Amino acid sequence: MLTFEPPAGRRKDRELLNGHTGTNGAALKVCFITREYPPNIYGGAGVHIKNLARELAQVMDVEVRCFGDQDLTEGRLRVKGYQPWGRMAEGAEQRFNSVLGTFSTDLSIVRDPLDAIVHAHTWYAAMAGFMAKELYDVPLAVTVHSLEPLRPWKEEQLGRSYHLSAWIERVALEAADRVIAVSSQSKSEILTHFNIPPERVTVIPNGIDPGTWKPSLARATRQAYGIEGDYILFVGRASRQKGMVHLLEAMKYVDPGVRLVCCAAAADTPEVEQEIAAKVKETPRCLWISAQLREEQYIELYSHCAVFACPSVYEPFGIINLEAMACERPVVASAVGGIPEVVVPGETGLLVPPADPGALADALNRVLRDRAAAHAMGRAGRRRVEEHFSWTMIAARTHRMYQELLKERRTAHARSGSYLPSAGSA
C-alpha cells in the first residue's frame, strides 16, 4: 500500500509545498514532455500533467513540450506544442501513422535545446525523453501511466507498430534516472517487466483538486441529455481497457428503474466503437454520451449519480475514481491495478473481480438498495481524497523527488565539471 503524506489541514498550497521540500524551489527547472496538454486532453494522463504542471509552477520554472499547436506563458509555466511531420500520415498502412507520427514529433521536441530535468509521460514521450537525456546530459524521470506489455490489444489499433511503442517504452524506462509509478501495484508490474533497480522506482499517485471537484447542484447537463431519476455513471475512453462492455452486460441484472449513463469518447479503433455501439443497442437503459464534455459537466454528472462504476480490466491507478469520490459518490470498481489503493471496500465503495458482469451487477445492486450506506460511502470517499490525494501533496512529493534526482546527478558529475548551469545551485 502507499505511504501517504499527512493531511494538508488549512495551510496554503505554497506553504505546504515549501514545508515538504525545505526550499522555495527557485533552483529547480523541469521540462514535461507529453502528448496531452490542454486543450488536447483525452485521458487521465493529460489531466495529471495539466494539474501537476500548474501546481509545480507556483514554486519553480516549468516548461511543457506537448503535441499540438499550443504557445502560451502563464507566470513560471511555459507551454509549446509540436506537430508531426507531414509525410508520417502517408502510406497504405494507416495503423503505422500514429507511432511514426509520434516519433517525428518527439524528434522535433528534442531538437530544441534543453537545460532542465526532463519528465516524460507515457510512451508517446519516451523517445524524446531518452534522446534528451543522451543529447543534453540531463536527468530523466518517466511517469508510467500504463504499460505497453500489459495492453496487448493495442496491436489491434497500431498493427505491428505496437512493437515499436513497446520497444521505445522499454528503452526510456530502463535508461531513466527515476521511474514514477502511480501505485504500488504499478511499481510491481514495472519491476516484473523491465530491468530496473527497485531503488530507481518511486510511487507517487495521481491527484485531484478538491476545491474544483466537489458536489454540484447544477442541472443543465442532465436536462440537456434528458437524464432523470437514478442512474449509474461510467466515465472513460471507449476502449477494451476500460471494460465498458462488461458494464453493459451487467445492466441485464441491475435492478429495474435505474439507467446507465456512459460518458465514453475517443474510441481506440472503429471496430471497438462498433462493438460498443452494438452492445449499447442491446441495452435500452443505456445513454451513451460519446462527446467530450467540459469539466463542470462531468462534475454535475458525478454529483447526481446513484453510484459510479469503474469496470476496468487494466487500470494502473484510475483518476476517475478520485473524481467520483471527491463529488461524494460511492464507487463500484474492478479490483485491478492501483484501484484498491484508492477505493476502500465497505468504506468508500465496493471492489469486484474484473470482467465479471454478474459480480459487478450484484455490487451495484447492493449500493443501490442501501441509500444510507451509499451516502456514508460518498462522504468517506470525499474525506479520503482530501486527506491523501490533493495535488498539493502530489506536487510536494514530485518536487522533493526532483531535488533528490538533481543532487544525485550533481554528485555523479562532480569530477567532470559544472552541471545544469542555468538551474543554479540548490
- For 74-125, the pLDDT digits (tens) are 999 999 999 999 988 887 888 888 899 999 999 999 999 999 999 999 999 9
Q: What CA–CA distances, in Å, run from 38 to 45, 64, 80, 223?
A: 11, 11, 11, 27
Domain count, the chain: 2
pLDDT tier at 421 (50, 70, 90 boundaries)?
A: very low
- Enumerate the β-bridge partners of residue 208: 390
Asked whether residue 368 falls in the same domain as residue 418, the answer is no
- Is there a single domain that holds both residue 163 and residue 253? no
pLDDT of residue 7: 37
Q: What is the pLDDT of residues 339-382, one digit of tens each?
A: 999 999 999 999 999 999 999 999 999 999 999 999 999 999 99
Q: What pLDDT is recorded for position 314?
A: 83
| Nearby residues of 373 by Cβ (< 8 Å), 6 or more positions away | 330, 367
Q: What is the pLDDT of residue 416?
A: 63
Looking at the structure, do residues 146 and 245 belong to the same domain, yes or no? no
pLDDT of residue 426: 37
- pTM comes to 0.84
**CATH number of the domain residue 361 falls in:** 3.40.50.2000
Same domain? For 232 and 295 the reply is: yes
Q: How far apart are CA 404 and CA 159, in angstroms?
A: 40
Closest CA to 398 of 121, 197, 146, 138: 121
What does the pLDDT look like over 131-158, one tens digit per residue? 999 999 999 999 999 999 888 878 888 8
* pLDDT tens-digit map of 285-316: 999 999 989 999 999 999 999 999 999 998 88
Q: Is 171 in the same domain as 268? A: no
pLDDT at residue 64 greater than cutoff 80:
yes
Are residues 110 and 150 both part of a single domain? yes
Q: With contact defined as beta carbons under 8 Å apart, do 389 and 322 qualify? A: yes
Q: How far apart are CA 373 and CA 21, in angstroms?
A: 40
Condensed to tens digits (0 to 9), the pLDDT of residues 188-246 reads 999 999 999 999 999 999 999 999 999 999 999 999 999 999 999 999 988 888 999 99
Q: Are residues 63 and 175 in the same domain?
A: yes
384 lies in the same domain as 415: no
Domain limits at 401? 13-207+390-423
369 and 417 inside one domain = no
> What average pLDDT does the chain have?
89
